[in-house]
Amino acid sequence: MRQRIPCTVDVADTVESLHAHVDLRGVEVGPGDAVLVHDAPTRVARGERIVCERTATLTRAGGLRAWWTRLTSRFELALLYEVGFSEKPDTRNPR
């Protein structure tokens, strides 16, 4: 199911913040859902912030896709934790 909804886009590249946020005005996005923001700003000059009103298309995931996304997201999140802190070989003083 697809629905078009109004949204607020907030993009900034300032000393205080580097971000891009979309507020769907209270509409909940579930696992597997897709959001496409139409005519969203793609660039902002350094030191500037753009806040604008746009339209987004929300495509709801079916039951199977939502279930699959919930199941696989646990494994994908675990991939973020696979960071190694091994000792770097010392090329200046080989053993």
* pLDDT tens-digit readout, 20-47: 999 999 899 999 999 999 999 988 999 9
Torsion of CA 62, 23, 26, 66, to 10 degrees: 20
Whether 76 shows a pLDDT value over 70: the answer reads yes
Global pTM value: 0.69
**What is the average per-residue pLDDT within 56-74?**
91
Contact 12, 61 (CB under 8 A): no
